Chains A and B, each alone.
Chain A
Amino acid sequence: MRTIRYSVRNATTSVKPTRSPTQANFRDVFLTRRPNCNRTLLHCLGIESTAHTFGAGVVSDEGRILSDARDMYASTPGTGIHPREAAEHHSEVAARVVSSALTKAGVKASELSGVAIALGPGLGPCLRVGATVARALSVYYKAPLIGVNHAIGHIEIGTLTTGAKDPLVVLVSGGHTAIAAFSGGRWRIFGETEDITIGNLYDMFAREIDLPSPAGPEIERLASKTSEFLPLPYVVKGNDVSYSGLLTASLSRLRSGAKLEDVCYSMQEVSCSMLAEAVERSLAYTAKKELLLTGGVAANKILQRKLQEVALLHDAAFHVVQGPYTGDNGPQIAWTGMLALRAGLVTAISEARVRPKWRLEDVDIPWRIGTA
């Protein structure tokens, strides 16, 4: 996807600003595009549909989250997310979720300064539902469309809700296990999984024993009942981790008669410790003074505690994204879209295709400056 600079030529309304948007006057620029809107702040709608959650939220340009509506596709226990069924779910709930987000925020669609959409990474069929809704809203209400990377959304909602300035980011979810730091205009990956993600590990394990996914909370609950540690493969390669061997070994432990609670406990201990070590290595290498944990698996208390200990060892402040914003949500897309809009980045409708494999290190971030 090519992002384009906001200029008069790309204006979607007939009212043409004479200046390009800068930090100081971005409100004037975008509000003059909405002659019938008597608001003083900009509002951006964000739509999230990368995996099992269809979410919509509205944020204002000063970073206030005005609404957060979502509806989650529930998979049958013993199966994972079925992309087509999830997409069907999304298309059924889309209208209700979006209008509920606008109603709760008290903002009319015609007053929006932008519509942000997560174009990737994620499941193709699910992404296309959100993208279709967002493109339609953008065209109909003449609000600029902003294509957003879902992973950047997790990071931006993390920094917004915790106040972290220049953190080493640990992004953990069903789709990501990555350690990133900002430098030279982009998030740079310092470590990641070489095969499956930590969320995958939990979900694929759960699928084999007929638990519903996402399975993290259930595994955490089972693990808390025991402290019987079974040796399992611990694989750290530099700042990278590899979980596929751990998955196989955990399942074979279970099949050879080990107690489910003990396997859950040991698998959780090993997987979180591996990540903690990779994070510690990255923290030592980058010498960052803040650590931010974000993404769906950030809700895991054991992982939180282990990373807090890592931060303590290296005198770094530890931040965890606020509870409701760990999982996929609309506000994270809305806020990232707002940051892009303020920096003058919008996406032409014809360029707003989904990107199921969009890596976070491929996204230019002009709004985050100053850190080397």
Chain B
Amino acid sequence: MSISLGELAQPKLIYKGAEAEIYLETWHSEFVIRKTRVAKPYRVPELDEAIRRSRTAHEATMMQEVRKLGVPVPVIQDIDPDTWTLRMEYIRGPTLKEELFKLPAGKQRLRCRDLGGIIAIMHDGGIVHGDLTISNVISENGKLFIIDFGLGDFSKEIEDKGVDLLLLNRVFKSTHYVFHAALFKAFLEGYAKSVGKRKCDETVAKMHEIQRRGRYFERG
């Protein structure tokens, strides 16, 4: 996306997600992303405001902490829990969801392997994402940035790491039903390479355990 500063007198709505509106705006003469969590008519106001406030502050904390581990995330520039708003660095690139299937098969697996490596570092550092999908990954010329930590948490529990893997595997299965096995395998290769096969196997085993806990799981 090439936008010159002059064209951005007004904030530009670039994405309307499920819980927040994402604007591109100039702030202290720099491009920034403004993420504002909007009120949801389907929640009673007490609940709604508490959720938006805590997720806004929490997301900023998580992004700072994740950054310390060396995981690429946009730099947080401003936090305002009273207006449920975060400002952060603008990463120029498509989401992995938009990019992945325009790539040749080898590159697809490479991206998934890279993602696996990054997520493993994060997990090993005691942080889980909580909403891991390929639309929450931005690819800037092949360098992957993780975004949207609103549901993230500090956790060394394998349980929570297993949930991350479960969610990602579900996204692969539901969206890319032909290639999902190869993509998830590549993801796990990257994961194992980063933190070792033992930790990777443990997390995968937990993922299967969580799956079995749900309803209607047929063995075999």
Contacts and interface: CB of A to CB of B under 8 A. Distances in A.
Interface of A: 121, 175-176, 181, 183-184, 186, 188-190, 192-195, 197, 227, 229, 231, 234, 236-240, 269-270, 272-273, 276-277, 280-281, 283-285, 305-307, 309-310, 313, 355, 357-359, 362
Most chain B CB neighbours (cut-off 10 Å) among A181, A186, A239, A305: A239
Interface string B124-135: 000000111101
Given A229-B47, A269-B47, A121 B135 contact: no
Interface string B161-185: 0010001001001110110000000
Contacts of B5: none
Tell me what chain B mostly uses at the interface: helix, strand, loop, or mixed.
loop
Contacts, number: 108
A188 B47 contact: no
B51 A269 contact: no
A269 B16 CA distance: 25
Contact of B18 (A229, A284, A357, A358): A284
B73 to A, nearest CB: 18
Contacts of B133: 238, 285
Contacts of A175: 215-216
Given A238-B170, A355-B218, 9 more contacts: A181-B174, A183-B174, A188-B177, A194-B213, A238-B130, A281-B18, A285-B133, A358-B216, A358-B218
B167 A237 contact: yes
Contacts of A229: 44, 46-47
A45 to B, nearest CB: 25
Given A190-B174, A238-B130, A238-B167, A277 B18 contact: yes
Nearest to A232: B47
A80 B133 CA distance: 37
A186 to B, nearest CB: 7
B92 interface: no
23 contacts: A183-B175, A184-B178, A188-B173, A189-B170, A190-B170, A190-B174, A193-B214, A193-B215, A194-B214, A195-B213, A197-B215, A237-B163, A238-B131, A238-B151, A238-B163, A269-B44, A276-B40, A276-B43, A280-B18, A284-B16, A306-B42, A307-B42, A313-B41
B41 A309 contact: yes
A310 B218 contact: no
Nearest to A227: B44
Contacts of A313: 41
B131 A237 contact: yes
B202 interface: no
A357 B218 contact: yes
B8 interface: no
Given A193-B215, A277-B40, A285-B135, A237 B151 contact: yes
Interface residues of B, number: 34
Most chain A CB neighbours (cut-off 10 Å) among B167, B170, B177, B214: B214
Contacts of A193: 214-215
Contact of A234 (B47, B130, B218): B47
Interface in B47-90: 47, 50-51
Q: Which 8 A-B pairs have the closest CB atoms?
A: A306-B42, A188-B174, A281-B18, A238-B167, A276-B42, A284-B18, A238-B131, A357-B216
A99 B170 CA distance: 44
B17 interface: yes
Nearest to B177: A184
A359 B51 contact: no
A190 B46 CA distance: 28
B210 interface: yes
Contacts of B98: none
A127 B170 CA distance: 29
B176 to A, nearest CB: 9
Contacts of B41: 309, 313
Contacts of A277: 18-19, 40, 42-43
Contacts of B213: 194-195
Nearest to A184: B177
Interface string B12-52: 00001111000000000000000000001111101100110
Contact of A359 (B42, B46, B218): B218
Contacts of B132: 238
Nearest to B128: A237
